[in-house]
Amino acid sequence: MGATRTARELARFELTQAIKDEARRQLAVDGAVKLSMRSISRALNMVSSSLFRYFPSRDDLLTALIIDAYNAMGEAAEKAARGNPREAWLGACHGVRKWAKKNPHEYALIYGSPIPGYQAPRDTVTAAARVPLLMIKHLRYAWDLKLVESREPSPPLTEGLDAQIVELGKEIAPELPAKVLNRALIVWTQLFGMISFELFGQLVGSVDPSDEFFAHAIGQMADFVGLRTPY
C-alpha cells in the first residue's frame, strides 16, 4: 500500500486512462466498429501487443467504454437535476440530451444498435440504470409531496402488464401506483426516442434544430406522468 507499490500501480492506472481516452477519441472519429486495438496503440506510441496487458481483449475495452459512457451520462443527468421535483425531472432530461449531443458516438455506443458479436456483461446493467433510477427518484419525491396528479384518465393496465409493473415497482418505487410507473416508462422511452432521432438524423426535415421541440416535449411528457409544479 506504500508509495512504492503505488508507483507501478499509478502508472498502470494512468495508462489505462490514456488508452480509454484515445479510444474515445477514435470513437468520435470512426465510430465503435472501426475502433481497433492496433490504431489505439499506434496513437500512443506503443506496440500493439502491449495493449493486451491492460485490456485482455477488444471486447473488454468496449465494455469499459460502455460503462464509462453510462456513468458519464448518469453523472451529467444527476448534476442537471436541481430544484423542485418537476424541475429536477426536466433538468435531468436536458442533462441527458446535452451530454448526448456532446458525445454522440458514446451515446451511439450505448443506445444505438448493438455491436454484432459483442455481448454486454452484467456490469453494464447497474450503470445503465442510473438515468431511469434518477428520474424515478424525483418522481418519488414528487409523489411524497403530493405533486403527482394526472389529468387525463388512463385506461386500466392489462393483467400481465400490471404484474410486470408491480414487480418492477417492488424494487424501485413500492409506493407509486402501477399506472404512474407505467407512464414513467413510456416517458422514458419517449425521451431516448427523441434524442436518438435527433442524433441519428431522423428529425432532419421536420423539427431540426430540435431545442425547442425537445424542451416543449419533455414538458408535455412531465404533464403526462402527472408531475405538477408546487404552488
Partner DNA sequence: TGTACATCAGTGAACGCGCGTTCACTGATGTAC
Answer yes or no whether residue 50 interacts with DNA by CB under 7 A.
yes
Answer yes or no whether residue 2 interacts with DNA by CB under 7 A.
yes
Answer yes or no whether residue 52 interacts with DNA by CB under 7 A.
yes
Select the residue interacting with a copy of itself from 5, 146, 151, 170 (CB under 8 A).
Answer: 151
Looking at the DSSP bridge assignments, the partners of residue 227 are 148
By the 8 A CB rule, do 166 and 174 touch?
no
> Is 43 or 186 the residue whose CB approaches a copy of itself more closely?
186
Select the residue interacting with DNA from 27, 32, 35, 136 (CB under 7 A).
Answer: 35
> Is 58 or 98 the residue whose CB approaches DNA more closely?
58
Answer yes or no whether residue 120 interacts with DNA by CB under 7 A.
no
- Partner that binds at residue 200, options a copy of itself, DNA, none, CB closer than 5 to 8 Å by kind: a copy of itself
Tell me what percent of the chain is helix, strand and coil, each rounded to the nearest 5.
70, 0, 25
Among the candidate windows 11-19, 107-115, 142-150, 169-177, which touches DNA by CB under 7 A?
Answer: 11-19
Residues in 57-86 that interact with DNA by CB under 7 A:
57-59
Looking at the DSSP bridge assignments, the partners of residue 148 are 227
- The string of DSSP codes covering 141-210 is HHHHTT-B--SS--PPPPHHHHHHHHHHHHHH-TTS-HHHHHHHHHHHHHHHHHHHHHHTTTTTTSS-S-
Peptide bond into 153 cis (omega under 30): no
Separation between Cα atoms, residue 39 and residue 34, nearest integer Å = 9
Answer yes or no whether residue 133 interacts with a copy of itself by CB under 8 A.
no
Cα 208 versus chain centre, distance: 22
> Is 47 or 205 the residue whose CB approaches a copy of itself more closely?
205
Select the residue interacting with DNA from 28, 29, 47, 204 (CB under 7 A).
Answer: 47
- Partner that binds at residue 57, options DNA, a copy of itself, none, CB closer than 5 to 8 Å by kind: DNA
Least CB distance to DNA at residue 125 (A):
23
Separation between Cα atoms, residue 205 and residue 225, nearest integer Å = 29
